[in-house]
Structure 1
Amino acid sequence: MLYALIGAALLGPATLVCLYYLVLTGIGWRPRSVSRGSIPNLRLAILIPAHDEEDGLPVTLRSISESDYPPDLIRVVVVADNCSDRTAAVARSFGAEVIERVDPLLKGKGYALAKGLPVALDGPTDAVVIVDADAELAADCLRKLAVELADGAAVAQAAVAIRGRHGCSVGLIGAVGSEIENGVSAGRDRLGLSVPLRGSGMAFRREVLDSIPWKAFGITEDAEYDAALRRARVRVRFVTEARLRTGAPPTPEAMLTQRRRWRAALHTGRPDGILASKPIVLAHLVATAAITLTTAAVLPVDWAVGAIAWVAGLIALTGLVYVRAFRRVGQSASVYSTAVIAYRLVGVGVAAAVSRNRHWERTPRTADATFVAADGQ
């Protein structure tokens, strides 16, 4: 009985975490039957907060102009926030409405959105879609989001893919992690649960923004507003078919900056809590395996074999989630490459856990323009 209690205390949490990812991604990655839905005729305002984005912004604006959504139903509003480059001029050259915001004391995306939302909602706007200034929207992304809103969703989140992965680089880590996040979100949506906002590709009905004013000014503004939506019992739908691509941090140091900021989102009351941090989850699994192997030496042989087999099964099942994500981003998923990705994620997660961002800090962008679709297109 004592050995059973010890085993449950040690392997129980790791098992629950493993099943969380395995079950949700398994449900989410299965093809769903998509109804044609309503013909979208919503008037959309595309709101783009941009801080020194003269290089990346043309990709975003060009992808919007090439959208299959009726152009007469689209307005593009760019907030050039505390810029020291030609962001505003680039936005105007594409015909966007531009708001130039200068406030060296109040910095961050949340303040830029608060400045831009009243302009985006001014006039006959039915919904606002917020995208980052380095995002590339698939041609049908806006239409898919609009269909979801027209069919009754109050808030919709697009699937986010990462462009610019090379071998076992930071880009590949981001691409794999993003696909796992997409799978988890799709699974949550299939089960009727709300999904977390992801900062870019967020679509809101006007009524939501009117009833829940934007007051998210921290370093994780999307998670803060997501918490406000949960308090108001507003469900965020996940639209697997609406896809956009964004750049990965170009270096491990840049990724650490990004992950430190994301870690703050765990303190906003997300329903999945610490489970949302894949590096921490992997670190926990590694620690569980190490403790199991260490304690196996003092256990009876049958208990030791059972415990080792159990933790080996958890590692294998977790590996399946990563292997599937590798395939979704068009990469081979050898045991070696999966292990390398896991190792680097654990390292970033541990580093992020012991350090902290107290102020908003822009994540450096990658200059790589090789766009990678998660479906291999």
Structure 2
Amino acid sequence: MADFFVYFSWFLIWTMLVYHMFLMQGGYLHSMRYRKEEKELQKMKLPFPRVSILIPAHNEEVVIGNTLEAMSNLTYPAECLEVIVINDNSNDQTGEIAERYAQKYAFIKVINTKPPNGGKGKSGALNNGFHVSTGEIICVYDADNCPEPDAIYWLALGLINDPKAGAIVGKFRVVNATKNLLTRLINVETLTFQWLAQAGRWFWFKMATIPGTNFAIRSSILEELGGWDEKALSEDTELSFRVYNLGYHIRFFPSAVTWEQEPETLKVWWRQRTRWARGNIYVVIKFILSFHKLKRKNIGIDLFYFLYTYLLFFGGVMISHVIFIINLFVDLKLTIGFVSYILLVLGFLLFVTEALLALSVEKGQLTKRNFLTVLFMYFSYSQMWLFLVVYASFLEIKRVLLKQEVQWYKTKRFKQTVVPKDKSA
């Protein structure tokens, strides 16, 4: 019986590993051709559409100044641009800092929200901002983001020249990547996710997930969808599925780059990632239960991917770990011990290869230090996700059973690091 569970767990694990290898191949191919797409798009001489940038901000005094400074440096025509800071029930200097920029730049304006309409979390703030926006295209940036000057240009250009795209997703880089070991690990995770999951899925399936920042979506689509789901902790993932269901694709276009701050302490990381995991579990359950009502059944590709990640792959890893631990104390008479060790080593090598391939795409990232970070990541950071998913699942089950209200956690900010001069390739 123990042999069966070992085989079963390794089947679940290796199905995901092989799929990720497939995605990484697509991501690498996309990295080699998107510059050509840039040149083709620049040949199109369409008028600039009006763009509204929404920046939800709750107690963001540490970072909001740098973000608005980056907005003031955008190359997009100011007459076609409005930046809306949603000062969402802040009790610090966020509003005052934002107002100073609004007085200096005509295209920046601030709306202040208070309960009961304000202070409910990011989705509510975005809906409040959307209601007063005037742009044909809506872009979203978190309050810790510093987009590169041409980011909005690329997002808008990509969207208006692709009528089948409901939304277009840019690339984000970690501004504090070298702060400590945790931010180095997050940096590797971020780059791998974008070139494996985002670029790979776009290359093969014309799919990508809307992130929480640095994306553009048609205002008409948001109007049709009724804005953001205020019950969703992962409002970006939830919105992605609804955009798919309207028949649009979501395009990954790495020419649009933003620099964002990541957690610098384990406590902040844990709380942020718990929110993400809980949000994704909510999305998976929501759309599985309503799958029969969905118009576009190809959504199942992405839905199954999330389901596999949070249930099947996770279950396979847990089964494998439990059997390994039990076998240390009780002889389970496993007959495939040697094969398991081979698969374990091959899985580790595949993980390392995928991460290094993603790093190789970015200028200055394939370094000796990052190589050692990847090796360490497999045995530490990646394993932490197991405990996190268990914890997030427990909280989400508890919330549903006890009919608790969704509690939004805003990621703590740290003193902003200057954007590196060595920008992404």
- TM-score class normalised by the smaller sequence: 0.7 to 0.9
| Partner residue, 1:110 | 123
* CA displacement at 1:143 relative to structure 2: 1.1
1:90 matched to 2:127: no
Is the deviation greater in 141-150 or in 356-365?
356-365
Normalised TM-score (structure 1): 0.87
| Partner residue, 2:11 | 12
| Partner residue, 1:26 | 25
| Partner residue, 2:298 | none
| Partner residue, 1:51 | 58
Given that residues 212 and 228 in structure 1 are in contact (C-alpha distance below 8 angstroms), is that contact kept between their aligned partners in structure 2? yes
| Partner residue, 2:295 | none
Tell me which of 25, 33, 36 is aligned to 2:40.
36
| Partner residue, 2:242 | 228
Which protein is richer in helix relative to its size? 2
Residues 172-219 of structure 1: per-residue CA shift (max 9 Å, x gap): 122111111111101111113321111111201122122111141132
* CA displacement at 1:6 relative to structure 2: 6.3
Distance in 2 of aligned mates of 1:128 and 1:28: 26
**Change beyond 3 A, Cα 1:170–1:39:** farther
Q: Equivalent pairs: percent with the same residue? A: 19
Distance in 2 of aligned mates of 1:287 and 1:238: 35
Given that residues 60 and 94 in structure 2 are in contact (C-alpha distance below 8 angstroms), is that contact kept between their aligned partners in structure 1? yes
Distance in 2 of aligned mates of 1:325 and 1:288: 27
Letter matched to residue 355 of structure 2:
Y
| Partner residue, 2:199 | 186
SS at match of 1:29: helix
Distance in 2 of aligned mates of 1:112 and 1:352: 27
* CA displacement at 1:90 relative to structure 2: 1.7
**Change beyond 3 A, Cα 1:111–1:290:** closer
Is the deviation greater in 46-55 or in 305-314?
305-314
Given that residues 249 and 365 in structure 1 are in contact (C-alpha distance below 8 angstroms), is that contact kept between their aligned partners in structure 2? yes
* CA displacement at 1:315 relative to structure 2: 1.5
1:136 matched to 2:146: yes
Tell me which of 50, 65, 70 is aligned to 1:63.
70
Normalised TM-score (structure 2): 0.77
Distance in 1 of aligned mates of 2:391 and 2:144: 29
Distance in 1 of aligned mates of 2:247 and 2:87: 32
Residues 250-287 of structure 1: per-residue CA shift (max 9 Å, x gap): 21000001011101213313522145569x96895586
| Partner residue, 2:376 | 340
Is the deviation greater in 221-230 or in 329-338?
329-338
CA RMSD in angstroms, aligned pairs only: 3.1
Consecutive unaligned residues in structure 2, runs of 5 or more: 285-301, 397-405
Given that residues 8 and 316 in structure 2 are in contact (C-alpha distance below 8 angstroms), is that contact kept between their aligned partners in structure 1? no
Residues 48-87 of structure 1: per-residue CA shift (max 9 Å, x gap): 1111112211222222221222222111111100011222
Letter matched to residue 190 of structure 2:
S
Distance in 1 of aligned mates of 2:370 and 2:251: 34
* CA displacement at 1:292 relative to structure 2: 6.9
SS at match of 1:338: helix
Residues 278-316 of structure 1: per-residue CA shift (max 9 Å, x gap): 9x968955864784795998455xx54444323321211
**Change beyond 3 A, Cα 1:132–1:310:** same
Is the deviation greater in 192-201 or in 264-273?
264-273
Given that residues 59 and 94 in structure 2 are in contact (C-alpha distance below 8 angstroms), is that contact kept between their aligned partners in structure 1? yes
**Change beyond 3 A, Cα 1:135–1:326:** same
* CA displacement at 1:23 relative to structure 2: 1.8
* CA displacement at 1:168 relative to structure 2: 5.4
5 Å-filtered alignment, 1:1-377, equals 8-30=7-29, 31-32=32-33, 33-34=36-37, 35-37=39-41, 38-39=44-45, 41-94=48-101, 95=105, 96-103=108-115, 106-121=119-134, 125-152=135-162, 153-166=165-178, 169-183=181-195, 184-218=197-231, 219-264=233-278, 265-269=280-284, 271=303, 272-274=305-307, 285=317, 288=320, 291=323, 298=333, 304-327=337-360, 328=362, 330=365, 331-332=367-368, 336-342=372-378, 343-355=380-392, 356=395, 358-372=406-420, 376=424
